[in-house]
Structure 1
Amino acid sequence: MEKIIMITGATSGFGKAIAEKFAANGWNCIITGRRKERLQEVADTLSEQFNVSVLPLVFDVQSKEQVFKHINNLHHGWQNIDVLVNNAGLALGRDSFDTASLEDWETMIDTNVKGLLYVSKAVLPFMIAKHKGHIINIGSTAAKEVYMNGNVYCASKSAVDAISKAQRMDLLPHKIKVTAVHPGAVDTEFSIVRFKGDDAKAKAVYAGYEPLHATDIADVCYYCATLPEHVCINDLVITCTAQANSLYTFKEGN
């Protein structure tokens, strides 16, 4: 039977790598993102390279109206979602609490927390109807330890951790699995976005060690999603070998 995965934030980074991993293994994909041309490019590549069906949905998870409009109007054939990966998220700024931007705070909360809630709430009726499903929430090591100048980003990922635990308990009667995946340093667009295009600052984050790659997280998500029905991995913290947690990283030359 054909499987369907829905992945938010699939135009780059984790989301794109996860889509590629599942498509390579024959899964049909619903991919979402804000950048229409880039999303369509990913969709075309997946369908051509792996001969799977791909449905690109252009919307911003921050918008409750857009989320429910697109998901509620899914064609019946696309409603049979087996796995939802709540990947859309970002960090903005690395500023002290007293000087940080309120707009940055709001964007992180609206995307990392409220966006995850909206998409989960919209997809759940499909999973509940078939008494089966799997939600994978992409968190961060920042959910486990708060670090200096991480304030609201750390808070938003701590919320993802707490929401995952709550989902896991509340959805037990529906046989819906919930897995939280908490990556450490990964070389994606994450730092470019955080530092608002400052390439030098972004590169400095990963200097002196080999960070994780987006494909590493994709492999983990695929493993979790393809375990037997009676097995659920609840919580995973993943770092590169050079990193102990969100606070400690060993860098060569330092």
Structure 2
Amino acid sequence: MLYLPRRREAGARGATEAISMEAMMGKPTAVVTGASSGIGAATARRLAAEGYRVVAAARRAGRIEALAGELRREGHDVVAWPLDVTDRAAVDAFAAGLDRCDVLVNNAGGALGLEPVAEGDPADWRAMYEVNVIGVLNVTQALLPALTGSGDGTVVVLSSTAGHGTYEGGGGYVAAKHGAHALAGTLRLELCGEPVRVIEIAPGMVRTEEFSLTRFRGDEEKAAGVYEGVAEPLTAEDVADTVAWAVTRPSHVNVDLLVVRPRAQVSHTKVHRER
């Protein structure tokens, strides 16, 4: 049984009480992975504002607990759940602890390095595949019974425009995101006739606080160079808005694939940069 912390009424400052999800079964539940920062955190905020009870899952417990606390103070129903999506046992335990799941946003992912294929580190490629593909597989498999049982489930896969093209230096990330794209498309075929939609959102250039910094292993100059001269890259909130729009369409409407880029970017290799 998963319990959500709720603030007591005035007079019990900072105290919490445990309330069962069963007490609020009328509200749909959205699980967001990779919710500790960037697109995941923005999506958790946006879905909470849309009226979902949000389960924010990520490896960094402190970050998601802070997010959950912030949103609860605003009156939203949010729980933080520390989770590594590449740990299948942990994912299965997570799924067993949920009373319901109506929406799953597979957002956990990331890129490592920008070396050419000839110089790429197999360990980086393996790590990217594990989180971007196997992580999506783990969580989706574990929550599919609940999503189907809801009678109106939605699976969202946050892939990337890297899953729909190639670019120099992006081999490992491109391969992983192509895998995520293939997973989403195959799952949609296999669930035809079931009450579950499969939506793929493929963002292009998004400026968040961590994506490029992680890719370049903390090198702030290289990370900043990705966005140099681009007046308005997408923000995490732009992508969260796209996710919220897609999942709140009428049940019979499936947004198979939505590619979203900033106006300045038309492909991986053609970006308008102001000088």
TM-score bin (small chain): over 0.9
Q: Of residues 68, 85, 92 in structure 1, which corresponds to 2:92?
A: 68
Could you tell me which amino acid in structure 2 is paired with residue 251 of structure 1?
A: R
How many angstroms apart in 2 are the aligned matches of 1:130 and 1:202?
42
How many angstroms apart in 2 are the aligned matches of 1:175 and 1:73?
22
Kindly provide the CA deviation profile for residues 50-76 of structure 1, in whole angstroms up to 9, marking residues without a partner as x: x122121112111111111221232x3
| Percentage of pairs with the same residue | 35
Does 2:26 correspond to 1:4?
Answer: no
Indicate the residue corresponding to 1:182 in structure 2. 202
How many angstroms apart in 2 are the aligned matches of 1:226 and 1:129?
19
Q: Of residues 221, 228, 235 in structure 2, which corresponds to 1:207?
A: 228
Indicate the residue corresponding to 1:192 in structure 2. 213
Q: Tell me how far 1:211 sits from its aligned partner.
A: 0.5
Q: How many residues align?
A: 248
SS of the residue corresponding to residue 57 of structure 1 reads: strand
**Correspondence list, 1:1-254, <5 A:** 1-49=26-74, 51-74=75-98, 76=99, 79=100, 81-188=101-208, 189-209=210-230, 210-253=232-275
Q: Tell me how far 1:152 sits from its aligned partner.
A: 1.3
Structure whose CA Rg is larger: 2
Q: Tell me how far 1:12 sits from its aligned partner.
A: 0.3
Unaligned runs of 5+ in 2: 1-25
Unaligned runs of 5+ in 1: none
Preserved contact between residue 155 and residue 197 of structure 2 (Cα < 8 Å): yes
Kindly provide the CA deviation profile for residues 137-182 of structure 1, in whole angstroms up to 9, marking residues without a partner as x: 0010111111001111001101111111111111122121111000
Give the structure-2-normalised TM-score: 0.88
How many angstroms apart in 1 are the aligned matches of 2:150 and 2:112?
38
How many angstroms apart in 2 are the aligned matches of 1:171 and 1:132?
12
Q: Tell me how far 1:31 sits from its aligned partner.
A: 0.8
Q: Tell me how far 1:130 sits from its aligned partner.
A: 3.0
How many angstroms apart in 1 are the aligned matches of 2:187 and 2:151?
15
SS of the residue corresponding to residue 146 of structure 2 reads: helix
How many angstroms apart in 2 are the aligned matches of 1:110 and 1:125?
23
RMSD across aligned positions (CA): 1.0
How many angstroms apart in 1 are the aligned matches of 2:192 and 2:147?
12
Q: Tell me how far 1:41 sits from its aligned partner.
A: 0.4
Preserved contact between residue 102 and residue 146 of structure 2 (Cα < 8 Å): no
Preserved contact between residue 91 and residue 193 of structure 1 (Cα < 8 Å): yes
Preserved contact between residue 31 and residue 55 of structure 1 (Cα < 8 Å): yes
Preserved contact between residue 145 and residue 247 of structure 1 (Cα < 8 Å): no
How many angstroms apart in 2 are the aligned matches of 1:183 and 1:156?
15
Kindly provide the CA deviation profile for residues 76-122 of structure 1, in whole angstroms up to 9, marking residues without a partner as x: 3xx2x111000000000000112111221111011000000000000
SS of the residue corresponding to residue 173 of structure 1 reads: coil
How many angstroms apart in 2 are the aligned matches of 1:103 and 1:133?
35
